[in-house]
Amino acid sequence: MKFKKQIFSLSILLFCMLAIGCQQSKRDSLESEAKENLSKKKVSIEEIEDGIKAYIEQEKAINEGFFLVNDEKVELRLKLVRVHTEYLSNLGPSRHFACVDLADEKGDVYDVDFFLEGEPGNMKVTETSLHKLNGKPRYSWKQLVDKTWKRVPVESSTNDLFGVKEGRDYFEFSYKAFLPKISANAKVWIPIAQTDRFQEVKIKSIKVPGKQSFQEEKKFGNTILVLDVNQVHSGEEIEIVYEVARKEKGPYLDSEEEINKYLEPDLLLPVGGRFKEIAENAIKGKENDGQLVHARALYDYIIDNMRYMKFGTYGTGSADFACDSKTGNCTEFHSFFISLARSIGIPARFAIGASIPSERNEGGIDGYHCWAEFYAEGKWWPVDISEGNKYTALATYYFGRHPANRIELSRGRDLVLSTMPKAGPINFLAYPIMEEKGELLYPKTVFSFNRIN
């Protein structure tokens, strides 16, 4: 009996030793795997961008200068417009995603999704798909809890996958710009976001070069940061980080008394003439139905007659360019609307900032975004016509609503300051404007965000 107890004790001891050995082996294996992962060079956003550009150049070299994409049995001959660096991402140790704008010879812009595999300097494209045509999506993306992405058909997509966050939103917003090489004394103008009834803004940090001063733009109530810089500030970074609590905007009362100033023309927003003629034709048969109905008729006219297309001299917010070309980005859409509205007695105004992605919680932002408001029935009504044009299912939403996921940086056109560029009033202000030796320069600007849950 004693001998059996000794054997049993010995068995227990051996089992424990084996268990400890297995655990140690597992730990060693995990540590080895962790070291191996750490030793792997993490692919940077710049390397993904270089990889996709190199691939496009290789394909162009063998296809007479064009990148070829098949779309419903039609071969598209495209040229690179830009790589969306705000959407480049790592999907795994050696799998990556890129979103690229390519244009055809007619000026139509295709948003193409690329999936790549491989290490830096040796990445290969494994899949391409046409995501959007002139801003209109064929499908949407949804980010899952594990940070992977799932493709969702347009008809199955919810509002949040089309850029709409209803109710409230909370996020950090990073505003970065990089000064170019400076050869003489120069000035830089930067909009500073402010708290109002729809957004509460706190500056978490601010890092800017040169001598700083804040100026108040009186007509629209903007705050502008003005920097005096020189040669020693070449290449330096501007960074402002905001913490923002924003709520969805609907029609609202405003105590501002000077409504009529929003009937006056701006430098790039004519009033009257052909704009009055177009507006009167748009409201024909509805002349006695009131300004709210008239504004909706103008909104529908622009959606039906304009194409969202970044082609030619777009982006200046010229109502004449929009009227002539029937194309443009958000600045043209809303400038055209404002000129039409003011031409038939509807006060309308302009604002600009950034739209925060709703389908993910962090990352880059695809540049600035602008919108408009008009005055009718004793209230200001928000509209976002370019988004209504892209997402026809949301056209009704965007007439009278702005979602919570955005930040307003400035409002109004032709901004006048006590210190302003020699060229005259500032057209609108989202990205920094720099003046050196009388020449206007536009520093490279990058927006990013991190949603606060």
Q: Pick 259-402's CATH classification: 3.10.20.30, 1.10.3720.10, 3.10.620.30, 3.40.50.450.
A: 3.10.620.30
Task: Report whether pLDDT(146) > 80.
Answer: no
DSSP-assigned states of every residue in 236-247: -EEEEEEEEEEE
| Dist. CA 366–CA 233, nearest whole Å | 27
Q: What is the pLDDT of residue 90?
A: 65
pLDDT, averaged across the chain: 87
Task: Please report which helix (H) or strand (E) contains residue 38, including its range.
Answer: helix 2-39
Task: Report whether pLDDT(134) > 90.
Answer: no
Spatial neighbors of 59 by CB under 8 A, at least 6 apart, are: 67, 68
| pLDDT tens per residue, range 249-281 | 999 998 767 899 999 999 999 999 999 999 999
Q: What is the largest CA-CA distance in the chain?
A: 113
Domain spans in the chain, listed from the N-terminal domain onward? 45-133, 168-248+416-451, 259-402
At the topology level, CATH places domain 168-248+416-451 in Immunoglobulin-like (2.60.40)
**Which of 175, 177, 187 has the alpha carbon at shortest distance from 237?**
177
Classify residue 418 as exposed, middle or buried by CB count within 10 Å of its CB (0-12, 13-18, 19+): exposed
Q: What is the pLDDT of residue 92?
A: 65
| Dist. CA 145–CA 356, nearest whole Å | 19
CB 316, CB 427: distance < 8 Å = yes
Please state the length of the chain.
453
Share of the chain above pLDDT 70, in %: 87
| Dist. CA 17–CA 23, nearest whole Å | 10
CB 385, CB 398: distance < 8 Å = yes
Task: Report whether pLDDT(387) > 90.
Answer: yes
Task: Report whether pLDDT(119) > 80.
Answer: no
Share of the chain above pLDDT 90, in %: 59
CB 309, CB 302: distance < 8 Å = no
Q: What is the pLDDT of residue 36?
A: 45
| pLDDT tens per residue, range 329-370 | 999 999 999 999 999 999 999 999 999 999 889 989 989 999
Can you name the residues that pair with 348 across neighbouring β-strands? 374
Q: What is the pLDDT of residue 235?
A: 95
Task: Report the pLDDT averaged over residues 122-151.
Answer: 80
Which is it for strands 168-178 and 444-451: parallel, antiparallel or unpaired?
antiparallel
Which range among 57-66, 200-209, 444-453 shows the weakest confidence by mean pLDDT?
Answer: 57-66
Which is it for strands 211-217 and 109-117: parallel, antiparallel or unpaired?
unpaired
| Dist. CA 229–CA 234, nearest whole Å | 9
Is the pTM for the entire model greater than 0.85? no
DSSP 8-class letter at 399: B
| pLDDT tens per residue, range 404-415 | 999 999 999 999
**Which of 360, 301, 284 has the alpha carbon at shortest distance from 89?**
360
Stronger pLDDT, 110 or 428, i.e. the higher one: 428
Q: What is the CATH number of domain 45-133?
A: 3.10.450
| pLDDT tens per residue, range 2-50 | 444 454 454 544 444 444 454 555 445 445 544 444 445 556 777 778 8
| Dist. CA 289–CA 276, nearest whole Å | 17
| Backbone torsions φ then ψ of 49, nearest 5 degrees | -60, -45
Q: What is the pLDDT of residue 30?
A: 44
pLDDT bin (cut points 50, 70, 90) of residue 374 is very high
Stronger pLDDT, 296 or 119, i.e. the higher one: 296
Written as six digits, the tokens of 370 are 């602008």
Which range among 225-229, 263-267, 390-394 shows the weakest confidence by mean pLDDT?
Answer: 390-394
pLDDT bin (cut points 50, 70, 90) of residue 80 is confident
Side-chain-facing half-sphere of 153: CA atoms under 13 Å: 2
Stronger pLDDT, 73 or 1, i.e. the higher one: 73
